[in-house]
Amino acid sequence: MSDPLLQVRDLVVEFPTRRGTLTAVDKVSFDIAPGEVLGVVGESGAGKSLTGTAIINLLEPPGRIGGGEVILQGERIDNLPQEEMRKIRGKRIGMVFQDPLTSLNPLYTIGEQLTETIQTHMKLTDAAARIRAIELLSEVGIPAPESRIDAYPHQFSGGMRQRVVIALALAANPVLVLADEPTTALDVSVQAQIIALLKKTCAEHGAAVMLITHDMGVIAETADRVAVMYAGRIVEIGPVREVIKNAKHPYTDGLMASIPSLTHEAERLAQIEGSMPRLTAIPDGCAFHPRCPQAFDRCRRERPELLDADTTQAACWLYAKEEAVT
């Protein structure tokens, strides 16, 4: 395989508070290959969005990167000054956020926002930028882009706005698109269209995607590989089919079983007892052990790293033996 496009090594995000420093993302490492779609899934508070914002260096103070490296195309970007980072955001990394109404400026037309982005990152005349903007709009499936380009965001429906946001993200031909819950605010019939569009356009532009979501269905539809996060750590990472169909980590397994199915009937849903620990009270050892049906002594004492678990990697001591044998 070719060199990874994005490498994240031991990334730590922390929040200093009066009662000590809270670690919200704890030594997260993963790679994204060029053109790959990596899904990052987890429940609220798992640290998936913080991982994303840390990569593009948009953490809200007092949150800060407490350690680790982020390497984009061989170049370290986590320690760049804000001015340098601004040139990377939008140009090499495009962003799509959850709520299309808040990510578009209500006071400017769609065209003004698109051409601004295009001209910030590419040397184009006003006329050429406008043509490019119209191209982008038609690419994301906006009907009659020549006239719609002069409309304001409020004149678009939710799904259409998210299409515009995708057009904005792709405006400067980025190598990576960071999509944070891109379909969560949308209805299911619109969601299906946006997922398909995001996947198609990113593939056409050759952009890799880091797709952050809590929705396993969206991941199953879109991602090539998936990383499952729990309490600030990646607990399992592997090819999407393996993780969904054949999860190795007890948390992933429980999570998958707790999703009601459209095709199977069940008297009861499997449930994971309890809830995710708060940042102030992350248990020792494996953070999942108090809820884990298979926890044993070592889980309470020692924290597992990602271990090879056949087809995926799981941070679970259940797979420690295999490692010792090989």
Partner 1 sequence: MSQATAAATMGVNETPTSDPLIKIEGLTRYFDVSKPLLNRVIERVPRQLLRAVHDVNFSIHAGETFALVGESGCGKSTVARMVAGLIAPSAGSVSFEGVDRAAARSAAEERKIRRRFQMIFQDPFASLNPRWRVDRIISEPIRAFGLAQDKQEIDHQVGELLKVVKLDPADGAKFPHEFSGGQRQRIAIARALSNKPEFIICDEPTSALDVSVQAQILNLMRDLQDEFGLTYLFISHNLAVVRHMATRIGVMYLGKLVEDAPSRELFKDPRHPYTRMLLDAVPDIDMSGRARTPVKGEVPNPINPPSGCTFHPRCPFAFDRCRKEEPALLPVSENHFASCHAVAEGRIESLGAGVQE
Which positions touch partner 1 (CB under 8 A)? 43-44, 157-160, 187-193, 195-196, 214-218, 220-221, 241, 244-245, 254-255, 258-263, 265-266, 268-273, 275-276
* Rounded distance between C-alpha atoms, residue 324 and residue 326, angstroms: 6
Residue 285: burial class (beta carbons within 10 Å; 0-12, 13-18, 19+) = middle
- Amino acid in position 6: L
Alpha helical stretches, state H, the chain: 48-55, 82-88, 100-103, 110-121, 126-139, 145-148, 158-170, 188-205, 216-222, 240-245, 250-257, 297-301, 320-325
Nearer to partner 1, 129 or 219 (CB): 219
* Rounded distance between C-alpha atoms, residue 180 and residue 79, angstroms: 22
Tell me how far, at minimum, the Cβ of 245 lies from partner 1, in Å: 7
Tell me how far, at minimum, the Cβ of 215 lies from partner 1, in Å: 7
* Rounded distance between C-alpha atoms, residue 90 and residue 82, angstroms: 13
Nearer to partner 1, 86 or 278 (CB): 278
Tell me how far, at minimum, the Cβ of 214 lies from partner 1, in Å: 7
Tell me how far, at minimum, the Cβ of 142 lies from partner 1, in Å: 12
Nearer to partner 1, 261 or 326 (CB): 261
**Cβ-based neighbour number of residue 163 at 10 Å:** 25
Tell me how far, at minimum, the Cβ of 260 lies from partner 1, in Å: 4
Nearer to partner 1, 57 or 222 (CB): 222
Nearer to partner 1, 133 or 195 (CB): 195
Contact (CB, 8 A) for 179 and 32: no
Contact (CB, 8 A) for 46 and 276: yes
Tell me how far, at minimum, the Cβ of 3 lies from partner 1, in Å: 29
Tell me how far, at minimum, the Cβ of 74 lies from partner 1, in Å: 34
Q: What angle do CA 263, 268, 271 make, to 5 degrees?
A: 105
Nearer to partner 1, 276 or 314 (CB): 276
Q: What angle do CA 245, 181, 46 make, to 5 degrees?
A: 70
Nearer to partner 1, 81 or 274 (CB): 274
Contact (CB, 8 A) for 45 and 22: no
Nearer to partner 1, 18 or 264 (CB): 264
Tell me how far, at minimum, the Cβ of 232 lies from partner 1, in Å: 15
* Rounded distance between C-alpha atoms, residue 53 and residue 42, angstroms: 15
